[in-house]
């Protein structure tokens, strides 16, 4: 029997990343990418709050409450958010963690004055492209041989109005 949409939804809280989160974030990074960012890059980003905004998706309920399920890194330049890194731990994928994380990041970006957002995604990562498209991101360009590990193309996706498609996820405490 297939689980219902509601039961497949793992509630998370989107919070600002701290140095205490780095072990979990670096582990997710290593499990998600063939050329992972080193810990020092995350640490440098944490110490540049004028530009960088880093987030974690923390499990909000259940036996894994408090665990970090995913993270996102972004730069805010004037009124444009550039999502530089985004990953969900393999154990938490297909449970709507990425959707909640992206909604939280875009909500916070809008609160900070961002109107638009941009990101690059691997051409082969159809799941991520579908997630971004649900929020209104559209492909606008291709960066040929962008990724250094295998020279895969990147699809540049752009969101013209951050506020248009921000969904309201189910509450972690709904009755």
Q: Catalytic residue positions?
A: 120, 132
168: exposed, middle or buried (Cβ count in 10 Å: 0-12, 13-18, 19+): exposed
Bridge-based pairing of strands 154-159 and 116-122 is: antiparallel
CA distance 154 to 25: 23
For residue 3, the tally of other CB atoms under 10 A from its CB is 9
DSSP state of 145: T
């Amino acid at each position: 029997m297939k689980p219902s949409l509601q039961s497949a939804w793992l509630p998370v809280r989107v919070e600002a990343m701290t140095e205490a989160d780095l072990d979990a974030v670096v582990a997710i990074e290593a499990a998600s990418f063939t050329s992972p960012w080193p810990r020092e890059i995350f640490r440098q980003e944490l110490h540049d709050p004028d530009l960088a905004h880093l987030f974690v998706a923390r499990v909000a309920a259940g036996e894994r409450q408090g665990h970090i399920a995913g993270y996102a890194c972004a730069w805010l330049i004037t009124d444009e958010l550039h999502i530089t890194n985004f990953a969900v731990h393999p154990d938490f994928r297909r449970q709507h963690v990425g959707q909640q994380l992206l909604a939280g990041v875009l909500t916070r970006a809008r609160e900070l004055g961002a109107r638009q957002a941009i990101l690059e995604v691997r051409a082969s990562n159809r799941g991520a492209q579908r997630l971004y498209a649900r929020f209104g991101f559209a492909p606008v360009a291709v960066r040929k041989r962008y990724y250094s590990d295998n020279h895969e193309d990147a699809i540049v996706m752009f969101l013209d109005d951050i506020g248009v498609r921000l969904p309201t996820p189910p509450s972690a405490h709904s009755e």
